[in-house]
Structure 1
Amino acid sequence: MKFPIKKFLSITLPIALGVFLIIYKYNEFSAAQIAEMKGYFQQADYLYIYLSLFIALFGYISRAYRWKYPLQHLGYNPSFWNKLFAVCIAYMVNLSVPRSGEISRAVVLKKYENIPFDQGFGTIVAERIVDLFIFAAFFFVALIFQINVVSDFLTKHIPVDQLLILAVVGIVLAAIFMLVWMYSKLGIILKAKEKLAGLTAGMKSIYTMPHKWGFLAHSIFIWFTYLAMFYVTIFALPETANISFGAVVTAFVVGSIAIGFTNSGFGAYPILIAEILLLYNVPETAGLAFGWIVWISQTVLMIALGGISFLLLPLFNRR
């Protein structure tokens, strides 16, 4: 009984939060402002939105191709199409439960390529660690070149004193966990190490595989497509078309945070994008409409590709 309740809450709570944010935000607007936002949707040049979706396809393909390097190092050579289908399904699954797509990727390869779940999942975790470092580079670029805007935004939205306390507590707990993990002889810890051996092997494959530079090149290219697909969308509205590249990078970073910590940014993404663009003198109604246009277009793409992949997987693997 506990598992269904936990699963139900993991799906419904992020969605409920998104709905709350949407209702809370729109209650702040007058009827005239809502009508103004509708006008932005109608006047948007969707050619740039379609272009961003086309760019996104290269990111999907590159992520699937990149996955072959750590898997080959572990002795597996899955079909490119199975990897691509798994990636597409993962994006779609993330719309329900944050980060659950990583699990679905490993499940797909376990079912159709007979790759042990723990090793497949380990390579995915290692990928995410590399992605985190690249995202951190974007974050620090935005922080360095847009320090005034970023500091104003963080001061307004994040209680810095509480954040520092949580960071200290987190570091202490992480240090205690590492010491217990490394030196404890408790049976439960030893069993956990045994269970996670495959996961560890998958994670280590990133650092021990022979094609590190190919893996790194694809990692950089993937994030380049993320930034490029966001950049071209600013030309969809006249109000956002002339913002600086620094503003684009800052909004991209904040949007990525919203996507990473929620179910693909539902509710939170458009609001945070609007808040950032407001700092660059983009009207809040225009920023919110822009955020929704970007989020909806990407969500439709994820659902379409994920649904198609889900249908094609059994057909492709019918032998």
Structure 2
Amino acid sequence: MKQNILKTLKFVSFFALGIFIFWMVYKDQDFNRIKSILTNDVNYFWIVVSLLLGLLSHVSRTIRWNLLIEPLGRKPRLMNTFLAVMVGYLMNLALPRMGEISRCGVIARYEKISFTKLVGTVVTERLIDVLMLLILLVIVVLTQFGQVLEFLNNNPEVNEKLQKVIYSPVLIGGLLLFFAVLWLSRHKIRESSLMKRVMGFVGQFVEGFRSIGKMKRKGSFIFHSVFIWVLYYLMMYLIFFSFGFTSNLGPLAGLTVFVLGSFGMVAPVQGGIGAWHFMVIEGLALYGVDRVDGKVFALLAHGTSTVMLIVLGLIGVLVLPFVNEREEVLENSH
């Protein structure tokens, strides 16, 4: 009972946070104008292509996960793994990080594989994804730093606010106090349950890397790890061609907006709602896109991909029992 209450509170609080950020971003918008742009000024061909690439990225993620599961001594059916991944995405829209647990539960149930070991493979997946995102961030910083400086020079009010935050006595004092408390409490922290959990998490990461070493098809794993993120990027960049105000922006601008949006997805809110929109709007502003136009872009890009995940996730929930019931009948007939 208590656990159910905590889950409900988590869902409500995360959802409320996402809605609040979304409201703050869009509260002053003329929705009639947004409706007019979406009806008359969007080339939906590129939206469709973007969604097809998104679907391909999910297939690639499915194949990569199967490669991670194979060293456990089992090879799940591709259909089961794909549908489990889709159910996972659907659950993430309900409660952040619930999707990882859900898809492991699906495979554990239908493929009779250890749930705990499956969680280890997902931890490995997430570690690789973090590394890929950090690599892309480094590329953006190295190639687009001048663009950021130009933006700050052209927007002195933003530069002034940023400097006030960085040199704020409150921030500096707070950081000094924080590090002082850490230093004085270092022995207690080392023995705390939180630190033990952190070290256990680190241990899972190490175990995850070891599982990669046991793979027979390492090249295929590396290919799909890169391919997934290339598709994610193209999924975002192609939408640039749907709007007149972004169609002139180059691939590096697309990469910058994509990386910023990816960090928005890391926020503990369902489907990155609000946080993703804010980061993408600010990323587009770096390249001179009016924030009003950026809000339309973010609304359509996020909305279409979310609808696709909901549809595929619901299909997964509905189809999984029938697919596996049929497989059991066929196995019993033999």
Q: TM-score range by the shorter chain?
A: 0.7 to 0.9
The partner residue of 2:138 within 137, 140, 154 is 140
Specify the alignment match of 1:209 in structure 2. 215
Residues 70 and 205 in structure 1, CA contact (< 8 A), matched pair in contact too: yes
Report the TM-score when normalising by structure 1: 0.84
Q: Distance in 1 between matches of 2:207 and 2:135?
A: 27
Shift in Å at residue 208 of structure 1? 2.9
**C-alpha displacement at 1:46, in angstroms?**
1.1
| Selected match of 2:37 from 35, 40, 45 | 40
Taking the TM superposition and a 5 Å limit, the aligned residue runs for 1:94-243 are 94-150=92-148, 165=175, 204-243=210-249
Partner of 1:53: 51
Q: Does 1:315 align with 2:322?
A: yes
Amino acid aligned to 2:34: M
2:255 to 249, 254, 265: 249
Distance 1:104 1:222 in 2: 21
Q: Compute the displacement of 1:203 (Å).
A: 5.6
| Separation in 2, partners of 1:82, 1:232 | 30
Question: Deviations for 1:159-189, whole angstroms, at most 9, x for unmatched residues?
Answer: 66869949x86xx79x9899769xx9xxxx7
CA RMSD of aligned residues (A): 3.2
Structure 1: state its 5+ residue gaps. none
Residue pair 1:121, 1:199 contacting (<8 A) in 2 also: no
> In the aligned structure 2, how far is the partner of 1:255 from the partner of 1:66?
23
Deviation at 1:36, TM superposition (A): 2.8
Change (3 A) 1:237 1:61: same
Partner of 2:276: 269
**What pairs with 1:266-305 in structure 2 (closer than 5 Å)?**
266-305=273-312
Partner of 2:87: 89
Shift of 1:92: 1.1
The alpha carbon displacement at 1:122 in A equals 0.3
User: Would you say the 8 A contact 1:142–1:249 is kept in 2?
Assistant: yes
- Residues 12-59 of structure 1: per-residue CA shift (max 9 Å, x gap): 112111221232233334xxx443322221221111111100111111
Which residue matches 1:66?
A: 64
The alignment partner of 1:54 has SS state of: helix
8 Å contact 1:270–1:295 — kept in the other structure? Answer: yes
User: Counterparts of 2:7 and 2:321 in 1: how far apart (Å)?
Assistant: 26
Q: Secondary structure at the match of 1:95?
A: helix
Specify the structure having the higher radius of gyration (Cα).
2
What secondary structure does 1:217 align onto? helix
3-state SS of 1:146 partner = helix
Mapped to 1, the partners of 2:203 and 2:137 lie a distance apart of 33
Q: Can you give the 5+ residue segments of structure 2 that lack an aligned partner in the other structure? A: 153-157, 329-334
Q: Give the paired residue count.
A: 304
Deviation at 1:201, TM superposition (A): 5.2
Q: Residues 90 and 99 of structure 2 are in contact (CA less than 8 Å); yes or no, is this contact kept in structure 1?
A: yes
Aligned-residue identity in percent? 31
Tell me the SS of whatever aligns to 2:273: coil
Distance 1:26-1:56 versus aligned 2 partners, 3 A rule: closer
* 8 A Cα contact 1:123 1:203, kept in partner: no
Secondary structure in structure 2 of the residue aligned to 1:98: coil
Q: State the TM-score, normalizing by the size of structure 2.
A: 0.81
* Structure 1 pair 119–198 and aligned structure 2 pair: CA distance change class (3 A): farther
- CA distance 1:124–1:288, shift in 2 (3 Å): same
Shift of 1:157: 7.5
- 2: CA distance between counterparts of 1:230 and 1:200? 32
> CA-to-partner distance for each residue in 1:112-134, whole Å, 9 max, x for gaps?
01111110010010011011111
Shift of 1:237: 0.7
